[in-house]
Amino acid sequence: MRPEFLGLSDRALTERMHRLEAQSADDDAAFEHFRRLRTNLSRQAWQSLTDELDCDRGPLAEVGVMVFPLDEDLARRLLQAMLASPRVKMRRKNFALGYVSTSFAQCDYLNSSNHYRKLTPASRALLAEFLSTAGPMVESAIGHPFRIASTRQFKLVPNRPLADRHLDGWPVAMRKIFVLPEGCGKRSSTTWFRRRDGHEFTLESEKPIWVLFENSVVLHAPVSGVALRPTIEFDIVPARQTSFELVDAGLGGWYPHFPTEAELHAATRQALQSYLAEVPGGAPVESWLQRISRSLGRLRPKAG
């Protein structure tokens, strides 16, 4: 990251930083410094939109988790399309421009926990059908406009170690939707929740369901079973106008850093300016040879 980057246009600068992020190692202190500055601006932007839309209202705000029945015929077709889709792995570089990404270590963990499937045209068509019905119900439940930020489908791997109860740490007005075409339970793996009112429960359903929950407000944890659990995940964000359009931001892309492209461009420049003010001269750009050497290092088996 060099001072001359600031001479690029807003779009070119954002694309350059995106490429650097896709190549950055988990222990890249220079990029982590920039990322922290950008994250602070991101949180401010999302909080501003959250306040503008008054996002903490609607039926979901009372409990934090809502469960809905899923049409059994649609569930059958969703499952059929998922199983017909090829397996894919989450990669560090696989995230859309302007999106929160996934570290190498987290990619490894998630690939060991989930068998991801590609979003094929057949799957996309069926997911659009689901959203056309579920979308208005989501908007009614959260009480404000929203849009889809990312989409992924996978089978949850069974017989996993006990997971911690956690919050995802996203801006609080973002939520998750889990579509479970085979239902869920202790055999096929499920999820434990502590609702806003303190009530604790574990999802159990022999029939297809979908779940809307505040993943950064209510504590939750996966409960591993002995069978693979098919799951479709939508991550949704507040918006000034509702859109049910399906978005594929790459397996490693979760939600946009900023609500709008204009905010992304301005904040990328501001974060880089702040970084250069704190680190005069910036950090050297890693050469292609250094990147290859680092990549090979990750592939070498560890001693012991």
Domains of the chain: 3-47+262-299 (no CATH), 59-257 (2.60.120.620)
Selection from 13, 232, 285 nearest residue 124 by Cα: 232
Phi, then psi, of 221 in degrees rounded to 5: -160, 140
In angstroms, rounded to a whole number, what is the distance separating the alpha carbons of residues 193 and 220? 4
Which stretches does DSSP call E strand in the chain? 65-69, 87-88, 114-117, 146-156, 175-180, 190-194, 200-202, 209-213, 219-223, 229-238
pLDDT of 284: 63
| Kind plus residue range of the DSSP H or E element containing 122 | helix 121-142
Average pLDDT over residues 268-276: 97
Q: What is the DSSP letter of 205?
A: B
Per the CB < 8 A criterion, the answer to whether 250 and 96 are in contact is yes
Regarding predicted confidence, which is higher, 285 or 77?
77
Average pLDDT over residues 81-98: 97
Say which residue the tokens 């839309």 belong to: 53
Mean pLDDT of the chain: 92
**255 pLDDT exceeds 60?**
yes
Q: What is the DSSP letter of 257?
A: S
Per the CB < 8 A criterion, the answer to whether 148 and 246 are in contact is yes
In angstroms, rounded to a whole number, what is the distance separating the alpha carbons of residues 129 and 173? 25
Selection from 225, 219, 110 nearest residue 165 by Cα: 219
In angstroms, rounded to a whole number, what is the distance separating the alpha carbons of residues 8 and 6? 5
Average pLDDT over residues 156-166: 82
pLDDT of 151: 99
- Whole-Å CA distances, 229 to 4, 117, 168: 49, 13, 21
Which residue(s) pair with 205 in the sheet? 184
In angstroms, rounded to a whole number, what is the distance separating the alpha carbons of residues 255 and 170? 9
Per the CB < 8 A criterion, the answer to whether 254 and 145 are in contact is no
Regarding predicted confidence, which is higher, 284 or 113?
113
Q: What is the pTM of this model?
A: 0.90
Q: What is the largest CA-CA distance in the chain?
A: 61
Please write the tens of the pLDDT for every residue from 4-62.
Answer: 999 999 999 999 999 999 999 999 998 999 999 999 999 999 999 999 999 999 999 99
| Terminal C-alpha separation, the chain | 36
- Which ranges of the chain does DSSP label H, i.e. alpha helix? 10-23, 29-53, 60-63, 72-84, 104-113, 121-142, 261-278, 288-299
